[in-house]
């Protein structure tokens, strides 16, 4: 048991580092600007989808205002970058991102405490309403640039950095959700009343998951602001939230691997199939309906990609039967 654990940790770490180095090498040598642009976009969508997966998949509550939290993060980071307090660069990015997260988490707690006392459908509608309120307010105030939006945000063009940040973000969310706090959240998804009866503070756990989700939506927002250098409130609308939701649903609600794979797929495939663009939304909507009817758990369900399983498989193939099967 212990050996397997150790083996899989080392193996995973080596794999991650090797792949990171490989992608970085490719992105700096072979990739053109277009591919790097896509790479960063993939990173942003992966973070968004994994973050939404925490609320929709792990907590089991539908959340239609994810783009609203992303816009909060994007505007907070964008305003900080524009303020010129720090020189543009990775340091400024990190500080801006922390500010963005703090803003999003505070708002998520304020919204979440009352909203999460409500049951599923009401939460969906209240998050939707909330996303709209954020948009109206951003357009209303002058310091956010109103309808003109924010432009000329100092840009940070550094795809390997975004990639590293994405990996770290996934790692943090994954670790949290497999920890004690995370399992409480999963318990609520399975049966809220039973968890309540077990003495779990359900409201607290729900707000925790909701805030975690908002926090990483803000990270994605900050990445977006720094990568694009231009923001407008209108782009973070209901449809954007739905796009992210499609990614989570398609991949499998509750599966990190699923969210990641479908976020990558749903960002890259439409790019490769640009000429069929006008059919994209029809296909998306049909996919939502059909998946819910025939495979409501999503394509991957709750399965995860596990290095330990592979090691187990390989070692058992080699006839080393002393591996501990628990």
Partner 1 sequence: MTFLLQLLNGLQLGSIFALIALGYTMVYGISKLINFAHGDILMWGGYIIYFTIPFFISMGLPLWLSVVPAILFCMALGGVIEKIAYKPLRNSPRIASLITAIGVSLLLQNIVMKYIGTGALTIPKIFKANPNLPVSVNFIITVVTTAVLLTLLMLYMNKSKYGKAILATSEDYDAARLVGINVNTSISLTFVIGSAVAAVGSLLYVAQYAQITPTMGSMLGIKAFVAAVLGGIGSIPGAVLGGFLLGIVENLTRAYISSQLADAFVFGILVVVLLVKPTGIFGKTMKEKV
Partner 2 sequence: MKQFKFVPVVALAASLFLTACGSDAGNSAATEASGDTVKVGALAPLTGDVAIYGQTTLNGEQLAVKEINAAGGINGQQIEFIVEDEKGDTTEATNAYTKLQGEGIVALVGDVTSKPTLAVADLANEDAVPMITPTGTQFDITAGKDHVFRVCFTDPFQGLMLAQYADENLSVSKVAILTNNSSDYSQGVAKAFKEEAEKRGLTVVAEESYGDADTDFSAQLTKIAGVGAETLVIPDYYQKIALIASQARDAGVNATFIGPDGWDGVVEQLEGNTEVVDGALFTNHYSVKDSAEKVQNFINAYKAEYNENPSAFSALGYDAVYMLKQAIEEGGSTESDAIVSALSGIQFDGVTGALTFDADHNPVKSVSIIKIENGEYNLDTVLAPK
Length of the chain: 326
What CA–CA distance (Å, rounded) separates 266 from 246?
9
Based on the shown chain and the rule CB under 8 A, indicate whether residue 305 belongs to the binding site for partner 2: yes
**Residue 39 interacting entry, from partner 1, partner 2, none, C-beta within 5 to 8 Å by type:** partner 2
* Angle (CA) 78 73 223, round 5°: 65
Burial of 263 per CB tally in 10 Å (0-12, 13-18, 19+) = buried
Is residue 69 a contact partner of residue 48, using CB atoms and an 8 Å limit? no
User: Which residues, 210 to 249, sit near partner 1 by CB under 8 A?
Assistant: 238, 242, 245, 249
In order of 66, 88, 168, 199, 291, the CA distances from 211 in angstroms are: 11, 28, 18, 21, 28
> What does the block give as tokens for 90?
């990775």
Minimum distance of partner 1 from residue 249's CB (angstroms): 6
Based on the shown chain and the rule CB under 8 A, indicate whether residue 283 belongs to the binding site for partner 2: no
Based on the shown chain and the rule CB under 8 A, indicate whether residue 257 belongs to the binding site for partner 2: yes
Q: Which of 170, 211, 225, 253 is the binder for partner 2 (CB under 8 A)?
A: 170
Based on the shown chain and the rule CB under 8 A, indicate whether residue 23 belongs to the binding site for partner 2: yes
What CA–CA distance (Å, rounded) separates 237 from 65?
8
**Residue 133 interacting entry, from partner 2, partner 1, none, C-beta within 5 to 8 Å by type:** partner 1
What CA–CA distance (Å, rounded) separates 38 from 313?
35
**83/152 with CB nearer partner 2:** 152
**Residue 3 interacting entry, from partner 1, partner 2, none, C-beta within 5 to 8 Å by type:** none
Three-state SS at 307: helix
Q: Total residues contacting partner 2 (rule CB under 8 A)?
A: 68
Sequence-separated (6 or more) residues with CB below 8 Å from residue 213: 51, 52, 54, 55, 63, 66, 69, 108
What CA–CA distance (Å, rounded) separates 271 from 295?
26
Based on the shown chain and the rule CB under 8 A, indicate whether residue 276 belongs to the binding site for partner 1: no
Minimum distance of partner 1 from residue 57's CB (angstroms): 10
**110/137 with CB nearer partner 2:** 137
Question: DSSP H helical segments within 84-201, as ranges?
Answer: 90-115, 120-140, 159-178, 180-190, 192-197
**Residue 318 interacting entry, from partner 1, partner 2, none, C-beta within 5 to 8 Å by type:** none
Closest CA to 78 of 139, 153, 142, 147: 153
Q: Which of 94, 98, 203, 265 is the binder for partner 2 (CB under 8 A)?
A: 265
Minimum distance of partner 1 from residue 187's CB (angstroms): 16
Footprint of partner 1 on this chain (CB under 8 A)?
A: 56, 60-62, 114-115, 118, 120-122, 124-126, 128-130, 132-133, 136-137, 139-140, 193, 238, 242, 245, 249, 253, 278-279, 281-282, 284-289, 292-293, 296
Footprint of partner 2 on this chain (CB under 8 A)?
A: 4-5, 8-9, 12, 15-16, 19-20, 22-23, 26, 30-39, 41-42, 46, 136, 139-140, 146-149, 151-152, 155, 166-167, 170-171, 174, 178, 224, 228-230, 232-235, 256-257, 260-261, 264-265, 268, 271-272, 274, 277-278, 304-309, 326
């Amino acid at each position: 048991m212990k050996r397997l654990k150790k083996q899989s940790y080392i193996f995973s770490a080596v794999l991650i580092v090797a792949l990171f180095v490989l992608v970085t090498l490719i992105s700096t040598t072979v990739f053109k600007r277009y591919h790097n642009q896509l790479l960063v976009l993939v990173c942003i969508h992966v973070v968004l989808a994994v973050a939404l997966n925490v609320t929709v998949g792990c907590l089991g509550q539908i959340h239609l205002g994810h783009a609203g939290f992303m816009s909060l993060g994007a505007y907070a980071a964008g305003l900080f970058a524009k303020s010129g307090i720090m020189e543009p660069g990775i340091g400024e990015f990190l500080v801006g991102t922390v500010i963005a997260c703090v803003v999003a988490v505070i708002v998520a707690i304020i919204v979440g405490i009352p909203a999460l006392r409500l049951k599923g459908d009401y939460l969906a509608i209240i998050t939707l309403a909330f996303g709209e309120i954020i948009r109206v307010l951003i357009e209303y105030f002058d310091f956010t640039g109103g309808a003109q939006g924010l432009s000329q945000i100092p840009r940070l063009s550094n795809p390997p950095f975004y990639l590293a940040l994405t990996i770290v973000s996934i790692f943090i969310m994954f670790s949290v959700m497999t920890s004690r706090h995370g399992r409480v959240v999963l318990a609520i998804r399975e049966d809220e009343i039973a968890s309540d009866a077990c003495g779990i503070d359900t409201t607290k756990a729900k707000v925790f998951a909701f805030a975690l989700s908002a926090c990483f939506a803000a990270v994605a927002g900050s990445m977006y602001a720094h990568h694009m250098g231009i923001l407008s409130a209108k782009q973070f609308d209901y449809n954007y939230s739905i796009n992210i939701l499609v990614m989570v649903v398609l991949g499998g609600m509750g599966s990190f691997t699923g969210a990641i794979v479908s976020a990558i797929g749903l960002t890259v495939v439409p790019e490769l199939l640009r000429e069929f663009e006008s059919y994209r939304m029809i296909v998306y909507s049909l996919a939502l309906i059909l998946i819910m009817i025939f495979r409501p758990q999503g394509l991957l369900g709750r399965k995860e990609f596990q290095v330990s399983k592979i090691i187990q498989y390989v070692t058992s193939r080699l006839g080393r039967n002393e591996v501990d099967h628990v």
